[in-house]
Amino acid sequence: MIISVRTGDSLWYYSQLFNIPLQLILDSNPTLNPQQLVTGQSVQIPGYMATSYQIQPGDTFWQLATARNLPPDALILLNPGVNPSQLSIGQSIQLPVRVTWPVVQPLREYDYDALVSDLNRLVSVYPFLRYQTIGSTVMGKEIPEIRIGRGPKRVHINGSFHANEWITTPVLMRFINEYLLALTNMGNIRGLVMAPFYDTTTLSVVPMVNPDGVNLVIRGLPEREPFRSRVLEINRGSLDFSGWKANINGVDLNNQFPALWELEAEQGPFQPAPRDYPGTAPLTEPESQAMANLTRDSDFARVLAFHTQGKVIYWGFQGLEPPESETLVWEFARVSGYQPIRTVESYAGYKDWFIQDWRRPGFTVELGRGVNPLPLTQFEEIYQEGLGILLASLYM
């Protein structure tokens, strides 16, 4: 919601007026100089939406504001061209509405369009959320990254490395929405007050690493060539893509990282496939390159890659993980009920590479149990199990 600065006002006053933490207002308006506000200047107020309203007989700003638990000044700031003492029946004004409900819609087949739609809603309501593109897919879709917070501890979380594990994306998006709601409404999640984490932690989330693959699993064959013919050939003519994990080139993005990649490549397959093919070399695919570049540039303290399925948490790689990893994984296990597994005979994964190159904690979290893609009927159970891990990644 955008208001217009009045002479003599301050961002601190707006924080008190709208009951929004001052830091969130400052971070929502990064180009403003809070010491030199200019009359008529626009200020974004996070956690609010503006809605149109037509004046009815007997309406006053005082009555309309009281009904929304706001002082009349809130309406005056939102309607700088309106004289509150001369309202006319049928006159259109803007009313501030505090957002206390989730704007993300997770219970649907969550393809790339659903992600972009929900991200746009979040950015409009929570402008302190930082949103950037880290790269593009084979088919040219932008890969978004979200950042929340300003703290020195940098935690990274991602989902949908694998196409038919797309349910991980709405899990992450629902958590992001609940976190933002708690920040702007000074609330809690599971009794844990969220406000302190904004100052101690910078949360990085790439909710959908593999948009092309996700769309293939959910929407079927792409219309564009050569992708349409290529995936049909890779899938041996079948229109059933429920077993597809790879990107649109038939490369498994979580087998693409330079962490004993050669050992993974020896296991096959040796050509593009719906799953497990590691490519001709590490980091050949634009999606894995984007994740590698993001990680190199970001100094993450820990990373969590969300996959499905199995209700397990993989936390080691070749004995290179630090002692902190074991402490973290047992807390993740406690809050989720998932089983920690230190190592398996698997290589070239994102968390493997992170552990190997940074000697910091990395985790692969396998949400839920069943046959991928897991059905939306499992979403609530999966979310509640994953929520404990997501919260622990902030407070540990």
**CA 297 – CA 345 distance, rounded (Å):** 29
On whether the CB atoms of residues 363 and 315 are closer than 8 A, the answer is yes
Q: Residue 341: helix, strand or coil by DSSP?
A: strand
Q: Three-state SS for 383?
A: helix
Beta strand spans in the chain (E): 2-4, 42-44, 48-54, 92-98, 130-136, 142-148, 153-159, 188-189, 192-193, 201-206, 302-308, 312-314, 339-341, 362-367
Query: Which residue, among 328, 348, 350, has the nearest Cα to 338 in the 3D structure?
Result: 328
Catalytic residue among 112, 366, 383, 385: 366
Known catalytic residue: 385?
Answer: no
Q: Which residues of 303-339 are buried (b: 16+ CB within 10 A; e: fewer)?
A: bbbbbbbbbbbbbbbeebbeeebeebbebbbebbebe
On the CB side of 3, CA atoms within 13 Å amount to 28
Sequence-ordered strand ranges (E) for 221-374: 302-308, 312-314, 339-341, 362-367
CA distance 149 to 129: 8
- The C-alpha atoms of residue 92 and residue 294 are separated, in whole angstroms, by 46
SS (H, E, C) 289-324: HHHHHHHHHHCCCEEEEEEECCCEEECCCCCCCCHH
Instruction: Give the residue carrying structure tokens 């917070």.
Output: 149
Catalytic residue among 347, 350, 383, 385: 347
Phi-psi region of 40 (alpha: psi -120 to 50; beta: other; left: phi over 0): left
Is position 48 annotated as part of the catalytic site?
A: no
In this structure, the dihedral spanned by the alpha carbons of residues 207, 210, 212 and 213, taken in order and rounded to 10 degrees, is -110
Known catalytic residues are 347, 366
